[in-house]
Chains A and B, each alone.
Chain A
C-alpha cells in the first residue's frame, strides 16, 4: 500500500531534549516536506527536499533540522525543543515536486508533539 509513515504518532518531551520524528515513503517520490499545523494558522512549511541530499528551508525553519540521505526517508530533528514547538507535525511527499508537476501531496498521519 502506497503511504507516508510517520513515527511516533504522539510524543511528550521536555525542553532541550533532542528528538527525531521519522518519515518514510514507499512511492519513490522525489519531493518530501515537513509541515506544522497550529490552530488558526493552517499548515506551515518547515523544510522541504527536492531530492536526495537536496534540502531547503520553508517558512518556519527555525529550531529544526532535516536530512535526506536516502530517497525514502526524511527525518525531522529538533536539537533543543522548546514549548513553542508544541504542534501537530505532518510529513508529505509528491512525485516530482517540480513546478510543472503539481501532483497532490500525500500526507502522513501526523505526529502530535508536546514540549513541556
Chain B
C-alpha cells in the first residue's frame, strides 16, 4: 500500500526562524516520485517540487530546501528564515503505480503559521 504521513498537524513559529516539515512515506515500488504542494490561505494548490526515487540529492531553491533519504523513507522540507507569506498548509505526496494506474497519494497536510 502507498501511504504518506505528515505527523505535524500544525506548526507555529516566529518570523525568521527556520522550520522543517516532516514527511514519511511507504511504498513497495522501486520507482516512485515525491512531491510537495503548498496551499496558501486563498485555497489554491501550488506545486513546489518533484523528486524521483533514484535521485537522493538534496535540493535548494532560495529559502526552500528538501532532504530526501530513502533509508528512512523521508522527504523533509525546510524553510530557512521563514516569512509571513510562507504561512500555508503544505502537503507531501507520493506517486506510484497502484493497480496499473498512476496514483497520487497525499499526506494529511501540515498547517504552518509564521507569526510576525
* Chain A interface residues (CB < 8 Å from chain B): 31, 33, 35, 40-45, 48, 50, 56, 58, 88, 90, 92, 97-99, 101-102, 104-107, 109-110
Interface size class of B (residues with CB under 8 A): 20 to 34
CA distance A104 to B107 in the complex (A): 16
Residues of A within 8 A of B102 (CB): 31, 97-99, 101-102
Of the candidates B9, B35, B97, B101, the one whose C-beta lies within 8 Å of that of A104 is B35
- Say what secondary structure dominates the interface of chain A: strand
Within 8 A of A (CB), among B31-49: 31, 33, 35, 37, 43-45, 47
For residue A36, give the distance in angstroms from its CB to the closest CB of chain B: 11
Considering the chains assembled together, what is the distance between the CA atoms of A88 and B89 in angstroms?
Answer: 14
Could you tell me the distance in whole angstroms from the C-beta of A11 to the nearest C-beta in chain B?
Answer: 14
Please, how many angstroms separate the alpha-carbon atoms of A102 and B94 in the complex?
Answer: 10
